[in-house]
Structure 1
Amino acid sequence: MWTVKVIGFSVLAASVSVELLNWLRRRYKARKTLNEVIFFPSELGCVEHLLRPSLPYPCYCALPHGVETSLSRLLRHILSASSSLDLCVFSFSNMDLCRAVLALHQKGVIIRVLSDKQYIAISGSQIGPLRQAGICVRSDVGSVYMHHKFALVDGSILITGSLNWTLTAVQGNMENLIVTMEPELVRPYIQEFNRLWEINDPLKHPNSVQAF
C-alpha cells in the first residue's frame, strides 16, 4: 500500500514539476519577446489603422499604407494599455501620440502626465488638449529641467530612451527607445514617477505655472 502511495505521489510531483517548468518557460519567453529596441527617425507610414481601428472606410491619405514603422511600433505599445498609462516626458507636441493617449482616455484607461514646466505651454504643445479632455497633467516645480522621457504601460511595461514626444524627434532625429517588461528595470521607474508625481502636486504649489 505504501509503495503505491509513494509511486502515486512521485508521479504527481513529476507532473507538477513539468507543468511548473513549462509555465516558467512560457513566462520567460513572453518576457523576452517584449524586450525591444526602436530606433528613429521613423519611416513614413499611415497610422490611422491603429488610431481609428473601427474606421468603416479605408484611409486615402498620401502616406504609405500597410508598413510597419518605428512610430507604429511605439503606438502599438502605448495603445496596449488596458488599465493605466503614466507619462513622464520633457516635451509633448506630437499629434499622433496625443491621439493615442486620448483614445486610451476614452476607453477608461487611467492616465497621468508629468511634463516640464517651460515646455508645457510652448507653441504646438499637446498638453492643452490632454487637460481639456480631463486627463490629469502636472508640471515640475523645480529649478532644473524635467528632462525624463519615459512611459509606463499598465505598471508592467517600460518605454524609455532619448525620444521626446515631438514631430521633430519622431521624424527628424536619430533617437532610440527601449521597451521592456524586466521587473528590475520597470520598478525603479515606477518609484521615480510616483515620487515626482507626489512632489509636484499643484495643491502643494498653488502659485505654480500648472494652473494655466
Structure 2
Amino acid sequence: MQTFSKLLYVCFTIAPIIFAYFVKIKKKESIKLYGQEKYYYKNIFLFYTQSCRDHLIKLKPCDNNCPQNHLILLTNFIATAKQSISICVLTLQLFNIFEELIKAHHKGVEVKIIMDREMIGVNSPKLQKLGRIGIPVKTQGENSCIHHKFCIVDEDDKASAKMFFGSMNFTLNGMLSNYEHITLTNDYRITEKFTKEFNALWKEFELI
C-alpha cells in the first residue's frame, strides 16, 4: 500500500514538473527558430538629403539620419564576414563598400559579385582592380537588367548568416537623392531564399 502511495505521489507531483520542463525546452527552441531572441530586422529609410553630400565625402555624419551613418552601418555589417560575401547589385559605386569587399578578400573571405552588364563601363576601374586581386564578378546576358540590390554575409552558416536588401542602388545618388529603403536581417528563412537565388544566377551568368 505504501509503495502504491509513493507511486501515486511520483505520478502526480514529480511527473508534472518533468513535463513542464520539457515544454519549456520546446518553447525555447521554438522561440530560437521563429521568435525575437534569434532574429532581428532593422529598417532604414533614406530621403533627399543633398546637404549631407560633404558628410559622405569627409566621412563625418551630422546626425543619426545622416547617410554617412547609414553607410557606416552597411560597411560594418559587411566587415563582420568570416566566410563569405555574396553581393548582387545594379552597380557598385560606393567607395567605402568597395574597399570593405577588398579588405574581406584579403582576410580570406570568399567574395562574389554579380553586377549589371550595362554598368560594367561605369565601374571599369573598380572591376579591373577586383580582377587583379582575384575577386570574381559575373554579369547577365544581353537584353536584360540586374536590378537586385542585396548582400549576403556568411550564407552557409545558419547561426551567423545575415543580409541586407532594399531599393537603394550602391551610389551617392542612391544615398542622397532618392527615397529608398534598406532592410538588415539575420533571419535564416530569408537569407536562405536569397542565397538560392544568388547561386542560381551565379551558375547561369558569365565572368566579366
Q: Give the alignment's TM-score, normalised by structure 1.
A: 0.73
Residue equivalent to 2:191: 186
Matches within 5 A, 1:1-212: 2-3=7-8, 6=11, 7-25=13-31, 28-32=35-39, 34-40=40-46, 63-64=59-60, 68=64, 69-122=69-122, 126-155=126-155, 156-202=161-207, 210=208
> Deviations along 1:124-179, whole A, 9 cap, x unmatched?
75333222221121121232111211111222323111111122322333321112
Shift of 1:31: 4.3
Distance (whole Å) between structure 2 residues aligned to residue 200 and residue 124 of structure 1: 18
Residue equivalent to 1:56: none
Structure 2 counterpart of 1:88, which letter? C
Structure 1 counterpart of 2:37, which letter? A
Shift of 1:195: 1.0
Identity of aligned residues (%): 21
Q: Is the alpha carbon distance of 1:11 and 1:29 closer, same or farther for their aligned partners in structure 2, counting shifts above 3 Å?
A: same
Q: Is the alpha carbon distance of 1:5 and 1:127 closer, same or farther for their aligned partners in structure 2, counting shifts above 3 Å?
A: farther
Distance (whole Å) between structure 1 residues aligned to residue 190 and residue 87 of structure 2: 16
> Deviations along 1:38-95, whole A, 9 cap, x unmatched?
1225757989xxxxxxxxxxxxx95437965111222232222222111001101111
CA contact (8 A) 1:113 1:138 kept: yes
Structure 2 counterpart of 1:139, which letter? T
Shift of 1:183: 4.0
Structure 1 gaps, min length 5: 48-60, 203-209
Distance (whole Å) between structure 2 residues aligned to residue 170 and residue 120 of structure 1: 21
The CA RMSD over aligned residues, in Å, is 3.0
Structure 2 gaps, min length 5: 1-5, 156-160
Q: Give the alignment's TM-score, normalised by structure 2.
A: 0.74
Structure 1 counterpart of 2:127, which letter? I
Structure 1 counterpart of 2:22, which letter? V
Q: Is the alpha carbon distance of 1:63 and 1:122 closer, same or farther for their aligned partners in structure 2, counting shifts above 3 Å?
A: closer
CA contact (8 A) 1:121 1:127 kept: no
Corresponding pairs, count: 189
Q: Secondary structure at the match of 1:126?
A: helix
Q: Secondary structure at the match of 2:182?
A: strand
Distance (whole Å) between structure 1 residues aligned to residue 140 and residue 8 of structure 2: 69
